[in-house]
Each structure stands twice: as C-alpha cells, then as structure tokens.
Structure 1
Amino acid sequence: MSWGMLGQNFNVAGVTIFMSTLAGRRYLAIPHISVQDINQVDWKALREAGFKGCVFDKDNTLTLPYAAAVHAPVLRSLEECKAAFPERVVMLSNSAGLEQFDPDGSKAEALEKQLNIPVLRHKSKKPGGGPEALEAFFECEARQLIMIGDRYFTDVVYGNRNGMLTIRPAPFTTEGESTVIKTVRMFEDHKIRRWTGRGIQAPVHNMLPNSEALGIDWTKDE
C-alpha cells in the first residue's frame, strides 16, 4: 500500500474532530448541496452569487479511486468550473501536496501535470487543519470558497468547519477502494441518513440567503 493510500485510510489528525462530530456537532457532516456528480452544479450561478474559488477533492470526486486522470463523464463540468473561476480552482488532497507524505511536493507536481489543476501544499489532513493555506492561495476569506468532495467526514466536515460552502457529489464507484474506506463509507452513509431524517441541517452559510433572494439556483438539470 502506498503512503498516499495509507494516509487516506488512517487519519490521526481527524480523530478528535470525528469524535466531536459524532458527539454533538453533527451538522458539520451535512453538506449544503448534494448532487449525483458535478455535472449538476451550476458554476456560473455560484460565481454570480459571490463565491471566489473552488476546492476539489480528488478520488471519487474528479477521478476514479487512485486514478491519475479526470473521470471522462465529469470532464466537461470541470472545464465549465475552470471557465467560471479562471485560475481559481485547486485540489486539496490527503496525500499529494500534504507535507507528511509529499515533503518535496513531487507528487503534487506530477498530479498537477496529469490533471491540469493546481494542488495545494498544506500541512494537515482533512478534516483537520484551518483555512490559512487556502486563503493565502485565493487571497480571500474561506467563506467565499466552495469545497467539493464525496466524503462526509473529511471533505464536508473540513469545509463546514472552515465556513465554506460544501457540495457533496456521490462517489463514482467503490471498486478499487480499500476495505477500510468501504466500511467507513457505510458508516458515514448510515449516520447521514439518520441525522438528516431527524432534521439536522448543514450550518447556515451567510452567502446563501443573498443568492436565494436573487433567484439563483445552485444546480442545473442535465
């Protein structure tokens, strides 16, 4: 198993946040927007609502698990996102670009060439860590950024903890994922269904009311 795969399977930095989410901060795991995949996202509407940039997870959000190319069915949507947010799209990975597993940035550089997306250099695995590296990269506040990722307890919790708008696409496939990740997914799905069934909602985002008042829809029909 590679360091990157191990790092995604075992996230020491996120244990405390994970436990606090289970214990009482369950709203952090609820995304503002849920979609089947990013083809449903209206990137232009999000830009017009005032958002300044997009932060993507990699596996099962843009690529198949551990693949090095954008999954073909979402390639057009990614290009639409890059057109709506020119030079303001970045990937936040729990392996490439992470100081612990990629100290010289070589994995990040290779991924940037393969996907044609900048990979953020950072020190903490999601859901841990603050927004400082992202705010420096985008030169704006984290609340003006959009976090897009398929994992409730990593991508969504990280985004919500730091005041971002969170979009959760369903994973493309579990084929190729480790047994640990598959088990965690089942646990996450069970908890989210239970919590949303009890009426738990995503944290309030202060840019949402303005967008709704303007009649902006977040998603589009394909």
Structure 2
Amino acid sequence: MTASFRRALGQRFNPAGILFTVSVALRQPHLFLPHLSVRDMRSIDWAALRQVGFRGVVLDKDNTLTAPYLRSLWPPLADSLRECVQAFPGQVAVFSNSAGLREYDPDGSEARALEESIEGIHVIRHEAKKPAGSAEEIERVFGCPTSQLVMVGDRYFTDVVYGNKNGFLTILTEPLCLSKEPFVVQQVRKFESFLVSLWNRKRLKPVEHPLRCEAVKCVKDLV
C-alpha cells in the first residue's frame, strides 16, 4: 500500500482516533472545548498574543491554513499569516495529520512541499496522529513549555483535544472549505458539533489555562 493511498484513507477513516476520542468523551469531555473560538486566523491579534506572554504558534493545516489536502495557503489568510510570523519570528510551525506525519509522509516530501508554499514555515515531523501523542516533539522545536504556545485548528476531536490534553491555549477556527471534505469527515463534524453543543448547554467549561483571560483580549469576532 503506497504512502499516498494510506494518507488518503487515513484522513477519511481513523479507527484508532475514533476509539481514543470515545474514551476522552466518556472520561474527560471538557478536553473537547476550546479556550477560544473564532471565524478564522484573521480574527487573531498575533502581536497582542506575543505581548501577553505567548512564545509560539502551532497551526493545523487542512481547513485551517489550506483547503483540504491542498498545499497552497488559502489566499485570504496571507496577511494574517504574515502578521503571525512577524509577531513570532522563527516560532511558528505546522503540526498536521497529513504533511509531516511519518505514517503518511515517511520521506517528508509533503512536509517539504508545504514549507515551500507557506513562506518557509517549519512543518513538524511526528509519529502519532492527533489527538494521540505527547507534545515532546513540539516542545523540542520551540524550546519552551506548551503552556506558552497557542494551538490553532478547525477540529474539536483532533486539534482541540490534542492541544488541551497537552497544555496549549487552544483556538478553534471555522473550516475554510467544507465542500472539499470527504462525506465521512463532514458527518464526523456534525457529531462533534452535536456533542459540544450538548456540553455547552450543560455549562461544561474548558480546561484551565493561566493565560486564557489575557488571550481573550487578543481576539476579535469571537464565535
């Protein structure tokens, strides 16, 4: 089975991730709740986040930076990404379940292609697929604890759960282009939204983060 086929299949169906997610939902549902929710990266004041104490930014790829499974940046985000890099020089990276994940990108070709298309921003190579895995690889890249890093992504079950369980400040964005996603992913999104809506009605709170109150001031157009 080729790496490209495994990548395509794995992005549509992730049984290990499903089992992990069910376990978290039953035992720690607050991990699904982001600290902040925004429309997209343009709602984030990157310079302000730096001023309140954050030292780096970790970005998801598909439907956060790019349309699903494409390598090029979503054009309306160009200015925001540039501002992010200016606020955090050398401290912005992509952590994706496609590019850089060794199971689907063993030779790093997807990661290198993405790096070339997004102003040289580093794509972290890693072993475990979000939401599983620790943040040791990310901490080595940034040289600081995850409590000083911001995790930005569009998925509750992957980006938010991974970020919360590992101590990041989590910011959820709305997906950029739902029409490009496979049917299975669209259905999982509906299930995610149902569960999160249920927990919000029960007034479940996100996990604590020491800089959350300050971070709220750095975001406009909260969803």
TM-score, reference length from structure 2: 0.92
Correspondence list, 1:54-203, <5 A? 54-116=57-119, 117-203=121-207
Q: Partner of 1:219 in structure 2? A: 219
Q: Percent identity?
A: 45
Q: How has the CA–CA distance of structure 1 residues 153 and 14 changed in structure 2, closer, same or farther, with 3 Å as cutoff?
A: same
Matching residue's letter, 1:180: V
Question: Could you tell me how far apart the structure 1 residues matched to 2:31 and 2:20 are?
Answer: 10
RMSD over aligned Cα, in angstroms?
1.7
User: 1:35 and 2:38 equivalent?
Assistant: yes
Q: How has the CA–CA distance of structure 1 residues 221 and 23 changed in structure 2, closer, same or farther, with 3 Å as cutoff?
A: closer
Aligned residues: 218
Matching residue's letter, 1:218: C
**Structure 1: 5+ residue runs without aligned partners?**
none
Q: Partner of 1:45 in structure 2? A: 48
Matching residue's letter, 1:164: F
Deviation of 1:221 after TM superposition, in Å, equals: 5.6
Question: Could you tell me how far apart the structure 2 residues matched to 1:221 and 1:156 are?
Answer: 19
Q: How has the CA–CA distance of structure 1 residues 143 and 16 changed in structure 2, closer, same or farther, with 3 Å as cutoff?
A: farther
User: Contact 1:11/1:125 (CA < 8 Å) preserved in 2?
Assistant: no
Deviation of 1:107 after TM superposition, in Å, equals: 1.6
Question: Could you tell me how far apart the structure 2 residues matched to 1:59 and 1:10 are?
Answer: 15
**Structure 2: 5+ residue runs without aligned partners?**
none
C-alpha offsets along residues 164-202 of structure 1, whole Å, 9 cap, x if unaligned?
000001012211211110110010011111111110121
3-state SS of paired residue (1:172) = coil
C-alpha offsets along residues 71-109 of structure 1, whole Å, 9 cap, x if unaligned?
111111111111100111100111211111112212211
User: Contact 2:135/2:146 (CA < 8 Å) preserved in 1?
Assistant: yes
Runs of at least 4 residues off by over 3 Å: none
Deviation of 1:5 after TM superposition, in Å, equals: 2.7
User: Contact 1:156/1:168 (CA < 8 Å) preserved in 2?
Assistant: yes
User: Contact 2:40/2:64 (CA < 8 Å) preserved in 1?
Assistant: yes
